[in-house]
């Protein structure tokens, strides 16, 4: 009996270590970035298109051209409250000691330089599609911003969400799959796919999630509960978004809807960033939105 128990315990321990091993944080071979020269102007544009400041700028920071990425914004979620970290070039408080490969591993695999898992509140689920050259340019741009000494504050997460090791399993389940729109109909929609699925992380807000917080890719952009609490993030598939190209362009550049309402909630900062991108990029986003499968609004959303 004792032997049987021991054998059982050994099998369990083996199983647990196999699980932890198979879900250990992944990292890239630094050679993937070798020989890539940064393009700082491209980096500035990527920074806008990816909306990094929406989470990492200090909560009271005025919008400006030289954002101070001191962190400190509180991000509510069903799993607890995350506090965005300082990603300014300060060597102690921020990421001033990082190399481009560290940013690549963070964006691509959600892995920290020390080899820990990041929470997907940092939307690497989308950013993982960024090209190595773009990560190098984004890194150079981040490095050019002002350093800030504000120390990081801990997330406020209840057990078991406070345990980072469990994130390996989450990643194994949800950090997978290629593009959602497999066959873009033309070059504009393909360019838009990169802007929406990789950079703009539009799906992180506009796509519903399952009970574990994974995106339900089959309901891509079909509208979702607002993670911050009240309200609903709208369905922006062709089933419900009937705005003309001019309407959408107007919305993305001025924040006005076709019926002269103004953009609100978390979309306001998205529009602030989009409005500073070249018009071609916005037209590409629109081409993409036209090309995604139409998914009918859910019953709750219609109410």
Q: Residue numbers of the site for ligand HEC (CB under 6 A)?
A: 50-52, 54-56, 75, 82, 84-85, 87, 95, 103, 106, 112, 118-119, 121-123, 127, 138, 196, 200-202, 204-206, 233-234, 236, 241, 251, 257, 263-267, 270, 285
CB 192 within 8 A of CB 289: yes
HSE-CB of 36 using CA atoms within 13 angstroms: 21
Report how far residue 53's alpha carbon sits from residue 141's, in angstroms, rounded to the nearest whole number: 13
287 class by beta-carbon count within 10 Å (0-12 exposed, 13-18 middle, 19+ buried): buried
Residue 210, number of CB atoms within 10 A of its CB: 10
Q: Both tokens of residue 297?
A: 């609004």
Rounded to the nearest whole angstrom, what is the least distance from the CB of residue 250 to ligand HEC in the complex?
11
Q: Using the minimum distance from each CB to ligand HEC, give the nearer residue, 18 or 302.
A: 302
Q: Both tokens of residue 271?
A: 């529009």
Report how far residue 9's alpha carbon sits from residue 13's, in angstroms, rounded to the nearest whole number: 6
Q: Using the minimum distance from each CB to ligand HEC, give the nearer residue, 3 or 301.
A: 301
Q: Using the minimum distance from each CB to ligand HEC, give the nearer residue, 122 or 194.
A: 122
CB 223 within 8 A of CB 234: yes
Rounded to the nearest whole angstrom, what is the least distance from the CB of residue 129 to ligand HEC in the complex?
12
CB 152 within 8 A of CB 83: yes
Report how far residue 266's alpha carbon sits from residue 264's, in angstroms, rounded to the nearest whole number: 7
Q: Using the minimum distance from each CB to ligand HEC, give the nearer residue, 12 or 172.
A: 172
Report how far residue 141's alpha carbon sits from residue 64's, in angstroms, rounded to the nearest whole number: 15
Rounded to the nearest whole angstrom, what is the least distance from the CB of residue 177 to ligand HEC in the complex?
19
Rounded to the nearest whole angstrom, what is the least distance from the CB of residue 271 to ligand HEC in the complex?
8
Q: Using the minimum distance from each CB to ligand HEC, give the nearer residue, 50 or 222.
A: 50
Rounded to the nearest whole angstrom, what is the least distance from the CB of residue 247 to ligand HEC in the complex?
9
Rounded to the nearest whole angstrom, what is the least distance from the CB of residue 20 to ligand HEC in the complex?
18
Q: Using the minimum distance from each CB to ligand HEC, give the nearer residue, 56 or 193.
A: 56
Rounded to the nearest whole angstrom, what is the least distance from the CB of residue 33 to ligand HEC in the complex?
15
Q: How far is CA 275 from the centre of its chain?
A: 19
Q: Using the minimum distance from each CB to ligand HEC, give the nearer residue, 32 or 257.
A: 257
Among 51, 149, 153, smallest CA distance to 94 is for: 149
Rounded to the nearest whole angstrom, what is the least distance from the CB of residue 159 to ligand HEC in the complex?
16
Among 13, 192, 176, 155, smallest CA distance to 77 is for: 155
Given the structure tokens 């330089």, which residue do they identify? 113
Q: Using the minimum distance from each CB to ligand HEC, give the nearer residue, 8 or 151.
A: 151
């Amino acid at each position: 009996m004792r032997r049987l128990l021991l054998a059982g315990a050994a099998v369990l321990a083996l199983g647990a270590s196999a699980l932890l091993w198979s879900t250990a944080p992944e990292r890239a071979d630094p050679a993937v970035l070798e020989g890539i020269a940064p393009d700082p102007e491209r980096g500035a544009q990527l920074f806008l298109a990816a909306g990094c400041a929406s989470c990492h700028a200090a909560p009271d920071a005025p919008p400006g051209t030289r954002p101070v990425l001191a962190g400190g914004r509180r991000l509510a979620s069903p799993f607890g409250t995350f506090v965005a970290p300082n990603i300014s070039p300060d060597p102690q408080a921020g990421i001033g000691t990082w190399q481009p490969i560290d940013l690549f591993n963070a964006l691509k695999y959600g892995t920290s330089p020390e080899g820990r898992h990041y929470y997907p509140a940092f939307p690497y689920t989308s950013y993982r599609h960024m090209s190595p050259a773009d990560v190098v340019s984004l890194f150079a741009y981040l490095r050019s911003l002002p350093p800030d000494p504000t120390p990081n504050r801990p997330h406020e997460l209840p057990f078991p969400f406070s345990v980072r090791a469990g994130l390996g399993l989450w990643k194994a389940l949800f950090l997978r799959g290629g593009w959602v729109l497999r066959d873009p109909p033309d070059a504009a929609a393909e360019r838009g796919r990169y802007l929406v699925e990789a950079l703009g992380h539009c799906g992180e807000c506009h796509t519903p999630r399952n009970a574990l917080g994974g995106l339900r890719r089959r309901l891509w952009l079909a509208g979702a509960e607002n993670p911050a609490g009240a309200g609903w993030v709208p369905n922006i598939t062709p089933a419900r978004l009937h705005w003309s190209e001019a309407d959408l362009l107007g919305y993305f550049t001025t924040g006005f809807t076709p019926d002269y309402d103004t953009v609100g909630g978390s979309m306001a900062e998205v529009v602030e960033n989009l409005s500073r991108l070249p018009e071609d990029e916005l037209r590409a986003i629109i081409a993409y939105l036209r090309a995604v499968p139409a998914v009918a609004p859910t019953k709750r959303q219609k109410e």
